[in-house]
């Protein structure tokens, strides 16, 4: 149990009794009593003195035996002595207000608590120490130096010469390149946290459910030689290179007396709309059926992997597709599955992800701020190339500068803070 705030020490003196006086950061064994001095439990108390604590305030941590009844009694005694319940994320919020962490680190704490996979937890942990704010601050001060030069040229056109345009262009380009790297890493972080949907589509009996089962390593979906086995959409998540991939197995598009069933087309469309990429499973041993052609047409404008299955039975379809078939083989073959995973990673997120061991953009507002800064920078460079006057360039650079302020916390408004801390649970 944690208590934070200026009254912490007097609370500790009232509710925790020990033969040893509480010393900062020393675990001390003693008795937890209620407001009337009645014993509630025996346990450990650790006192931290401002500013050397998580919140930057005096903080008391009580380690008790953990029975819900005893815990409730201790809380009741704390409340009786004037403490109150923390709001969601209030400890981290106070830490932020007391300068113990920046907005970015506070978001990282929320991400770490919410992490659902090891790679997501590791990515969030890379952000815990801060560091991104410093990196962004460096870029910002480079922008501010340029702005000062421009301002001098604008204010004293007779005494100060316009900055060298080629040099200016080069500086802006390096700043933009740095921001683009931050953007790429930030997007990789989002992928790892949030994952992607991948639709498995194709004609009936092509082996879609067999593929889902094979990638999952268990018999989740019913597989049979009767076309139309899968009726409802089945979803399961696997990890590909640390990215959670939500596989969506669909019922195939069926033909009834020469006509393609419209409900099947609709189902496939719906699954595709929820997915970032598709695996088109075709029976590569057979010539392409009208159903196969329909699925190819439906996925033509999407990120997709065309997979010719059942190579053990023949290659009529695979030959017809030629180069377009990215992976040919069988779901029963492990090399085929490895090739499919790699092709899937390429189709869904362009293959290799940047290394996320170091601080990277994580929250949506951070990515948006960088995107805004990049847009303003690109407009500034455009203005520069057109040979427009320095004040127009300065206007755009100011916008880029302001946008980056959201990342260093300077421009973090109340609304943003509320959004960040709303994701926390009580007392974190
Ligand atoms: N020989 C061979 N048979 C396969 C292969 N992949 C799948 N099958 C078989 O093909 C049949 C259909 O497989 P499913 O996975 O049910 O096909 P589906 O695409 O999900 O079919 P629907 O749900 O009916 O749309 C099953 O009998 C599988 O065992 C393969 O690579 N080689
Ligand atoms: Mg199926």
Does residue 284 contact residue 311 with C-beta atoms inside 8 Å? Answer: yes
User: Chain-centre distance of CA 95, in angstroms?
Assistant: 23
Q: How far apart are alpha carbons 57 and 55 in whole angstroms?
A: 5
Cα 314 to ligand 2 centroid, rounded to whole Å: 21
| Domain at 200-349: CATH code | 3.40.50.300
What's the average pLDDT block by block, 10 residues per block, for the chain (428 residues)?
Answer: 96 96 96 96 96 96 90 94 90 88 81 83 82 86 89 78 85 95 90 92 93 93 84 89 91 69 78 93 95 91 96 94 94 97 94 83 85 96 90 91 80 60 65
Question: What is the 416 CA–ligand 2 centroid distance (Å)?
Answer: 45
For residue 93, what pLDDT is reported? Answer: 87
In short, whether 208's Cβ falls inside 6 Å of ligand 1 is: yes
- State in Å: Cα 270 to ligand 1 middle: 22
Distance, CA 392 to ligand 2 centroid (Å)? 59
- Give the distance (Å) from ligand 2 centre to CA of residue 226: 9
Report how far ligand 2's centroid is from the alpha carbon of 200 (Å).
9
Candidates 206, 209, 210, 260: which one to mutate for ligand 1, based on the most atoms within 8 Å of Cβ?
A: 210
Q: Mutate which of 200, 207, 227, 280 to test ligand 1's pocket (most atoms within 8 Å of Cβ)?
A: 207
- Give the atom of ligand 1 at the shortest distance from the alpha carbon of 331: 31
Under 8 Å CB-to-CB from 82, ≥6 apart: which residues? 7, 11
Q: Is the minimum distance from the CB of 228 to ligand 1 under 6 angstroms?
A: yes
CA distance 4 to 95: 10
**Ligand 1 neighbourhood includes 252 CB (under 6 angstroms):** yes
* pLDDT at res. 424: 66
CA of 138 to the centre of ligand 1 (A): 56
Vertex 374: Cα angle to 396 and 99 (nearest 5)? 95
- The per-residue pLDDT for 256 is 65
Please provide the DSSP assignment of 81-115 as one string.
Answer: TT--PPPBTHHHHHHHHTTSS-HHHHHHHHHHHH-
* Residue range 109-139, pLDDT digits in tens: 888 888 888 888 888 888 887 778 788 889 9
Compute the distance between CA of residue 331 and CA of residue 308 in angstroms, rounded to an integer: 10
**Cα(281)–Cα(124) distance, integer angstroms:** 36
User: Which residue owns the Cα nearest ligand 1 atom 32?
Assistant: 310
Integer angstrom CA distances of residue 241 from 57, 210, 281: 41, 22, 22
CA-closest residue to ligand 1 atom 4: 310
Kind and range of the H or E run holding 286: none
Count of CB atoms situated within 10 Å of the CB of 223: 19
Q: Which residue, by CA, sits nearest to atom 7 of ligand 1?
A: 207
Contacts of 412 (CB under 8 A, 6+ apart): 103, 406
Distance 256 CA to ligand 1 centre (A): 20
Tell me which residue has its CA closest to atom 2 in ligand 1.
310
The predicted structure's pLDDT at residue 99: 86
Which listed CATH number (1.10.274.30, 1.10.10.10, 1.20.120.430, 3.20.10.10) goes with 90-194+363-428? 1.20.120.430
Ligand 2 centroid–CA 210 distance in Å is 7
Cα(228) to centroid(ligand 2), Å: 7
pLDDT tens-digit series, residues 276-335: 999 999 999 999 999 899 899 989 999 999 999 999 999 999 999 999 999 999 999 999
273 lines ligand 1 (CB under 6 A): no
CATH fold match for the domains 2-85 and 90-194+363-428: no
Q: List Cβ neighbours of 53 (8 Å cut-off, separation of 6 or more).
A: 4, 59
The residue to mutate among 200, 205, 261, 318, having the most atoms of ligand 1 within 8 angstroms of its beta carbon, is 205
Q: How far apart (Å, rounded) are the C-alpha atoms in residues 56 and 20?
A: 25
CA–CA distance, 161 with 152 (Å, rounded to integer): 9
What pLDDT is attached to residue 259?
64
- Position in ligand 1 atom list of the atom nearest CA 226: 24
Whether residue 204 has its Cβ less than 6 Å from ligand 1: yes
137 Cβ below 6 A of ligand 1: no
Q: What's residue 190's pLDDT?
A: 87
Q: Ligand 1 centre from 72 Cα, in Å?
A: 57
Domain residue spans of the chain: 2-85, 90-194+363-428, 200-349
pTM for the whole structure: 0.70
Name the pairing type of β-strands 16-17 and 255-256: unpaired
Q: Of all atoms in ligand 1, which is nearest to the CA of residue 252?
A: 25
Ligand nearest to the CA of residue 221, numbered in listed order: 2
Q: Whose CA is nearest to atom 30 of ligand 1?
A: 310
Query: How far is the C-alpha of 390 from the C-alpha of 384, rounded, in Å?
Result: 8
Q: What is the pLDDT of residue 255?
A: 67
In residues, how long is the chain?
428
Q: How far apart are CA 374 and CA 352, in angstroms?
A: 23
CATH, domain range 2-85: 3.30.1360.120
Per-residue confidence (pLDDT) for residue 106, from 0 to 100 = 82
Return d(Cα 390, Cα 264) in angstroms, integer.
59
Q: Is the CB of 232 under 6 A from ligand 1?
A: no
74: number of Cβ within 10 Å:
20
């Amino acid at each position: 149990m944690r208590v934070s705030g200026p009254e912490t020490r007097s609370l500790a003196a009232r509710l925790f009794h020990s033969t040893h006086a509480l010393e900062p950061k020393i675990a001390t064994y003693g008795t937890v009593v209620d407001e009337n001095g009645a014993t509630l439990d025996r346990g450990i108390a650790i006192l931290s003195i401002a500013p050397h604590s998580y919140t930057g305030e005096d903080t008391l941590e009580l380690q008790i035996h953990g029975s819900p009844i005893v815990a409730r009694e201790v809380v009741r005694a704390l409340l009786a002595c004037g403490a109150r319940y923390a709001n969601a994320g209030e400890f981290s919020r106070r830490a932020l207000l007391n300068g113990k962490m920046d907005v970015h680190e506070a978001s990282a704490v929320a991400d770490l608590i919410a992490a659902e996979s090891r790679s997501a937890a590791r990515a969030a942990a890379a952000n815990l120490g801060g560091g991104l704010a410093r990196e962004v601050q460096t870029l910002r001060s480079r922008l501010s130096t340029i702005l000062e030069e421009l301002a001098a040229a604008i204010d004293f056109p007779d005494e100060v010469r316009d900055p060298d345009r080629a040099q200016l262009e080069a500086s802006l380009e390096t700043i933009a390149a740095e921001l683009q790297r931050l953007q790429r890493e930030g997007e990789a972080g989002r992928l790892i946290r949030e994952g992607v949907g991948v639709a498995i589509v194709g004609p009936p009996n092509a082996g879609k459910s067999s593929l889902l089962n094979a990638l999952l390593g268990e018999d989740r979906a019913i597989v049979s030689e009767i076309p139309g086995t899968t009726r409802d959409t089945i979803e399961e998540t696997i990890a590909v290179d640390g990215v959670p991939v939500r596989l969506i197995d669909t019922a195939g598009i069926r033909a009834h007396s020469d006509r393609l069933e419209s409900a099947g087309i609709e189902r496939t469309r719906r699954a595709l709309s929820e997915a970032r990429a598709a695996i088109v499973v075709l029976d590569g041993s057979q010539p392409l059926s009208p159903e196969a052609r329909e699925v190819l047409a439906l996925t033509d404008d999407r990120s997709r992997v065309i997979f010719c299955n059942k190579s053990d039975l023949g290659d009529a379809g695979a030959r017809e597709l030629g180069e377009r078939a990215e992976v040919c083989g069988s779901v029963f073959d492990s090399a085929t599955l490895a090739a499919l995973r790699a092709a899937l990673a390429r189709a869904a997120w362009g293959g290799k992800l940047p290394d996320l061991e170091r601080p990277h953009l994580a929250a949506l507002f951070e990515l948006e701020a960088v995107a805004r800064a990049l847009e303003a920078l690109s407009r500034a460079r455009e203005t520069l190339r057109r040979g427009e006057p320095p004040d127009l360039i300065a206007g755009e650079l100011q916008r880029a500068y302001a946008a980056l302020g959201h990342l260093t916390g300077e421009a973090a408004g109340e609304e943003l803070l509320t959004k960040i801390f709303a994701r926390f649970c009580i007392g974190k």
